[in-house]
A and B are shown apart, each in its own frame.
Chain A
């Protein structure tokens, strides 16, 4: 029940697809999705492997609630050793792909080895086969998805694919499903490309069952009601999407601008959720067409947008006149505030291109921002950039570079390295705004102290989704903490990290946690899954998962030295806004955090901690 009870093992070297029973002991100890996928990865690979070698594996995993009607329960994750970071990677995506995998009767797919030639995996319920993909190699994610639907004559097929960026090794290629949903971070698409796997196409018609239908219906209805009544999930997110945050974070003095040189952006309003609603001059229509939902989601935060048809980027390119997945806050920030570009249409275009070709807009925008700083400082020049002026706020530089990066051409080849490798190459590693090689998202660790600690300790490198303390520090959920205060943040970060691991592993979206606590998830898990599910058990599993991911990273050669922030955040005080004069107090928070976790001063889980979670 809830779990399909089997996984598909795809050996790309041998070209075989074999069904295996799911290890139910592990399912009860790690739930599913992120937790269970990571457990399988831990058991099956050496954490020291080269992420792009055939010895690395890539797992697509659903959670037990995936495919049910619990609100937002359509998620899946891609778990592997990340190319961008060399750490554990787990990139979570919505859309409809996750449900389709579950409805085809599979909890997860484990890809191993490397195919001798480009292939795609095609699954129709029990039937799984690898098919030659030479016709699709070299194509964008959009063309691949449309092409596979046409080839199989079925518009209901769900597709996850990589673009040229993934094929050619851009370090932060993502996997795009349903045209504009992404398993976005850490270079999971790069790993997929290294296996010569172009796409996974699915058709599932078997149905998903739960343990106790009646109890589940009651629990799901209660969960939906909580989301509907909450101001963030019931109003803010449907109306403005995650872009509800642009003006809020700017006012908090925590909107990283110009590669984190500043913490407030003059152009914030121009690229905000509010601006997406404003009619534009050319045709009187707003950028935003509608909001949309992923599978089973009653929040519906997704933006669907169009680009002004008279805008320089698309006036001669009618293929971009249609509506598509529009700006989410993180992308609006990275493509906009980080680079100083305040042209909403240029940002929307750049975002479309990232989706079309499958690169992570957070890392791309942040890498371009680092390149812009190097250009402004004279560290790189026109000879290196191919004549493109990488000046702050230059929209044409943004839209030119996003295409060059996606297609692996010109200076885009170097931008495709990510900021860490790029800045190291030009002798200025300090200009990379990243942790464990992965770039920060859209919140500054000086103006919001807890998120700085969350970035430094995130197992997959800098990430807002591993412990979204913004909820507490800015939005007051579940209770307000002072963003400028570092006291108490170690415990807060730990609590968010553990709960998030449990929510991710269940198969629901982390955005539910604006309204839900684990107490809202528990009855849904308990009604759906065999066994007895309590909040304590869920949170204990969350903490177990966190420790297991840490074990992976330690075994992969990472140390406490990697739990740090760039000098800029630790030494250069914020220049304006409420955080003016502040730096990140990571040095104080980190030891408190290690202690709260039951880790040694060197950041290693103690024997006692490991034993407590059965991880010895």
Chain B
């Protein structure tokens, strides 16, 4: 079964636990700027929205890489192979979502690699705003909620 990260911003409190878990997992320290997941705060609306790579099947980043440094692992994650990455940043331009970014400390790019199949952000999130679930059924929870509403509308009170 292929799993994917599923984000539900309605639950997000903007706590940065996911961001901190990601930077710790990949960099060994707590450094929000070096996290592969970022949380954007729309303060005027009271909304907090986590955002990261959704692992496109046909990945623009991968196609654009001149050194074939972006590989697909067993979980379907597009993973940067550091030994091959030359830091040309073409993939950061190719990604339509901006989720591949350059890291000046290493001279390579960084992006979400699903932590080898057990994403640290998911474990850290206190509100289930990020879950790692069956990629084929990520919409079922929303469908269930709407199904309940639709049905309620047809029942007499």
Report whether A323 and B46 are in contact in the complex, using a CB–CB cutoff of 8 Å. Answer: yes
| Beta-carbon contacts under 8 Å, B1-42 to A | 13-17, 20-21, 23-24, 27-34
Stretch at the interface among A32-40, A47-55, A296-304, A587-595: A296-304
Report whether B124 and A69 are in contact in the complex, using a CB–CB cutoff of 8 Å. Answer: yes
Residues of B within 8 A of A68 (CB): 20, 30
Is residue B63 contacting chain A, with contact meaning CB distance below 8 A? Answer: no
Is residue B71 contacting chain A, with contact meaning CB distance below 8 A? Answer: no
| Beta-carbon contacts under 8 Å, B36-74 to A | 43-48
Is residue A224 contacting chain B, with contact meaning CB distance below 8 A? Answer: yes
| Beta-carbon contacts under 8 Å, A281-300 to B | 289-298, 300
- Minimum CB–CB distance from A94 to chain B (whole Å) comes to 11
Residues of B within 8 A of A277 (CB): none
From known contacts A292-B46, A323-B44, A323-B46, infer whether A69 and B13 are also in contact, taking CB-CB under 8 Å: no
From known contacts A292-B13, A296-B15, infer whether A207 and B43 are also in contact, taking CB-CB under 8 Å: no
Which of A69, A156, A217, A300 has the most B CB atoms < 10 Å from its CB? A69
Residues of B within 8 A of A291 (CB): 13
From known contacts A69-B124, A293-B15, infer whether A324 and B29 are also in contact, taking CB-CB under 8 Å: no
Residues of A within 8 A of B124 (CB): 69
Report whether B30 and A67 are in contact in the complex, using a CB–CB cutoff of 8 Å. Answer: yes
Is residue B96 contacting chain A, with contact meaning CB distance below 8 A? Answer: no
Residue in chain B with minimal CB distance to A305: B46
Residues of B within 8 A of A206 (CB): 31
Is residue B126 contacting chain A, with contact meaning CB distance below 8 A? Answer: yes
Report whether B126 and A224 are in contact in the complex, using a CB–CB cutoff of 8 Å. Answer: yes
> What is the interface residue range for chain B against chain A?
20 to 34
Which of B14, B28, B124 has the most A CB atoms < 10 Å from its CB? B14
Residues of A within 8 A of B127 (CB): 300
Residues of B within 8 A of A238 (CB): 13
Is residue A91 contacting chain B, with contact meaning CB distance below 8 A? Answer: no
- Minimum CB–CB distance from A292 to chain B (whole Å) comes to 5
From known contacts A293-B14, A298-B15, infer whether A322 and B44 are also in contact, taking CB-CB under 8 Å: yes
Q: Which of B17, B24, B32, B48 contacts A99 (CB 8 A)?
A: B32
Residue in chain B with minimal CB distance to A203: B33
Report whether A289 and B23 are in contact in the complex, using a CB–CB cutoff of 8 Å. Answer: no
Report whether B47 and A290 are in contact in the complex, using a CB–CB cutoff of 8 Å. Answer: yes
Residues of B within 8 A of A209 (CB): 28-30
Residues of A within 8 A of B23 (CB): 207
Report whether B31 and A208 are in contact in the complex, using a CB–CB cutoff of 8 Å. Answer: yes
Q: Which of B14, B31, B44, B45 contacts A205 (CB 8 A)?
A: B31
Residue in chain B with minimal CB distance to A325: B43
Which of B13, B24, B48, B127 has the most A CB atoms < 10 Å from its CB? B13
Report whether B28 and A213 are in contact in the complex, using a CB–CB cutoff of 8 Å. Answer: yes
Is residue A103 contacting chain B, with contact meaning CB distance below 8 A? Answer: yes
Report whether A295 and B29 are in contact in the complex, using a CB–CB cutoff of 8 Å. Answer: no
Residue in chain A with minimal CB distance to B31: A207
- Minimum CB–CB distance from A289 to chain B (whole Å) comes to 4
Is residue A45 contacting chain B, with contact meaning CB distance below 8 A? Answer: no
Residues of B within 8 A of A156 (CB): 33
- Minimum CB–CB distance from A480 to chain B (whole Å) comes to 28
Give a binary string over B123-143; 1 marks a CB under 8 Å from any A CB, 0 the rest.
010110000000000000000
Q: Which of A69, A224, A298, A304 contacts B30 (CB 8 A)?
A: A69
Residue in chain B with minimal CB distance to A302: B13
Residues of A within 8 A of B45 (CB): 289, 322-323
Report whether B24 and A300 are in contact in the complex, using a CB–CB cutoff of 8 Å. Answer: no
- Minimum CB–CB distance from B29 to chain A (whole Å) comes to 4
Give the docked Cα–Cα distance between A295 and B43 (Å).
Answer: 14
- Minimum CB–CB distance from A105 to chain B (whole Å) comes to 11
Report whether A295 and B15 are in contact in the complex, using a CB–CB cutoff of 8 Å. Answer: yes
- Minimum CB–CB distance from A193 to chain B (whole Å) comes to 25
Residues of A within 8 A of B24 (CB): 69, 213, 217
Residue in chain A with minimal CB distance to B44: A322
- Minimum CB–CB distance from B151 to chain A (whole Å) comes to 23
Residues of A within 8 A of B20 (CB): 68-69, 296
Q: Which of B14, B29, B44 contacts A292 (CB 8 A)?
A: B14
Residues of B within 8 A of A217 (CB): 24
Is residue A228 contacting chain B, with contact meaning CB distance below 8 A? Answer: yes
- Minimum CB–CB distance from A539 to chain B (whole Å) comes to 27
Residues of A within 8 A of B32 (CB): 99, 103
Which of B32, B44, B48 has the most A CB atoms < 10 Å from its CB? B32
Report whether A296 and B43 are in contact in the complex, using a CB–CB cutoff of 8 Å. Answer: no
- Minimum CB–CB distance from A124 to chain B (whole Å) comes to 12
- Minimum CB–CB distance from A128 to chain B (whole Å) comes to 18
Residues of B within 8 A of A99 (CB): 32
| Beta-carbon contacts under 8 Å, B51-106 to A | none
Report whether B17 and A69 are in contact in the complex, using a CB–CB cutoff of 8 Å. Answer: yes
| Beta-carbon contacts under 8 Å, A235-260 to B | 238
Give the docked Cα–Cα distance between A204 and B29 (Å).
Answer: 13
Is residue A271 contacting chain B, with contact meaning CB distance below 8 A? Answer: no
Report whether A296 and B46 are in contact in the complex, using a CB–CB cutoff of 8 Å. Answer: no
Is residue A354 contacting chain B, with contact meaning CB distance below 8 A? Answer: no
Give the docked Cα–Cα distance between A10 and B16 (Å).
Answer: 30
- Minimum CB–CB distance from B10 to chain A (whole Å) comes to 9
Residues of A within 8 A of B48 (CB): 292
Give a binary string over A169-200; 1 marks a CB under 8 Å from any B CB, 0 the rest.
00000000001000000000000000000000
Report whether B15 and A297 are in contact in the complex, using a CB–CB cutoff of 8 Å. Answer: yes
Give the docked Cα–Cα distance between A305 and B16 (Å).
Answer: 21
Residues of A within 8 A of B33 (CB): 103, 156, 204-205
Residues of B within 8 A of A67 (CB): 30
Give the docked Cα–Cα distance between A67 and B29 (Å).
Answer: 10
- Minimum CB–CB distance from A222 to chain B (whole Å) comes to 13
Residues of A within 8 A of B27 (CB): 207
Report whether A296 and B17 are in contact in the complex, using a CB–CB cutoff of 8 Å. Answer: yes
Report whether A207 and B13 are in contact in the complex, using a CB–CB cutoff of 8 Å. Answer: no
Give the docked Cα–Cα distance between A320 and B47 (Å).
Answer: 17
Give the docked Cα–Cα distance between A207 and B106 (Å).
Answer: 14
Give a binary string over A213-231; 1 marks a CB under 8 Å from any B CB, 0 the rest.
1000100000010001000
Give a binary string over A78-98; 1 marks a CB under 8 Å from any B CB, 0 the rest.
000000000000000000100
Report whether B126 and A296 are in contact in the complex, using a CB–CB cutoff of 8 Å. Answer: no
Residues of B within 8 A of A207 (CB): 23, 27, 29-31, 34
Known A69-B21, A205-B34, A323-B44; further 5 A-B contacts with Cβ < 8 A: A207-B27, A209-B28, A213-B24, A292-B46, A298-B15
Interchain residue pairs with CB less than 8 A apart (13): A103-B32, A205-B34, A207-B23, A207-B31, A208-B30, A238-B13, A290-B47, A295-B15, A296-B17, A298-B17, A300-B126, A322-B45, A323-B45
Question: Top 10 A-B pairs ranked by shortest CB distance?
Answer: A207-B31, A293-B15, A304-B46, A207-B29, A289-B46, A69-B20, A300-B13, A322-B44, A293-B13, A298-B126
> Taking beta carbons and an 8 Å cutoff, which residues of A are in contact with B?
67-69, 71, 96, 99, 103, 156, 179, 204-209, 213, 217, 224, 228, 238, 289-298, 300, 304-305, 322-324
